[in-house]
C-alpha cells in the first residue's frame, strides 16, 4: 500500500471494502499505513439521529453500544477494519 500511495492501485474505498483485504485490514500495520497514506482512519462510525437529536461522527473508534441509541437512531459504519 505504501509503495502505491493514494494515486495507483485501489482507492481508499477499495482498501475498506474489497474482500481480498478482509484479514489484513485487522492488522495494526495496515491501519497505520492507511492513516499515513489517506490521512484518515480505516474505520469510521457515523451516528445519525432521526428523532431530532444531535448527530455525531466518531472516526476510527468502535460503534456506540446499543444502549446509547434510541430506537429511531441509526448507525453507519464505513470500512471493516475491526
In the predicted model, is pLDDT for residue 11 greater than 80? yes
Look at residue 6 in the predicted model and tell me its pLDDT: 83
For residue 23, give the 3-state DSSP assignment: coil
Taking the domains of the chain in order of start, what are their residue ranges? 12-78
**Residue 21 confidence (pLDDT):** 93
pLDDT in tens, 39-81: 999 987 777 877 765 555 544 443 444 444 444 444 455 565 4
Which cell numbers hold the place of 29?
500495520
From first CA to last CA, the distance across the chain in angstroms is 18
* 38 DSSP 8-state letter: H
Which has the closest alpha carbon to 33: 61, 63, 13, 6?
6
Better pLDDT: 54 or 9 = 9
Q: 25 falls in which pLDDT band (50, 70, 90)? A: very high
Confidence (pTM): 0.55
Amino acid at each position: 500500500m505504501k509503495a502505491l500511495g493514494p494515486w495507483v492501485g485501489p482507492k481508499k474505498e477499495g482498501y475498506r471494502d474489497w474482500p481480498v483485504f478482509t484479514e489484513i485490514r485487522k492488522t495494526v500495520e495496515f491501519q497505520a499505513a492507511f492513516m499515513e497514506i489517506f490521512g484518515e482512519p480505516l474505520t469510521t462510525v457515523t451516528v445519525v439521529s432521526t428523532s431530532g437529536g444531535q448527530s455525531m461522527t466518531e472516526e476510527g473508534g468502535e460503534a456506540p453500544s446499543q444502549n446509547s441509541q434510541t430506537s429511531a437512531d441509526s448507525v453507519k459504519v464505513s470500512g471493516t477494519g475491526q
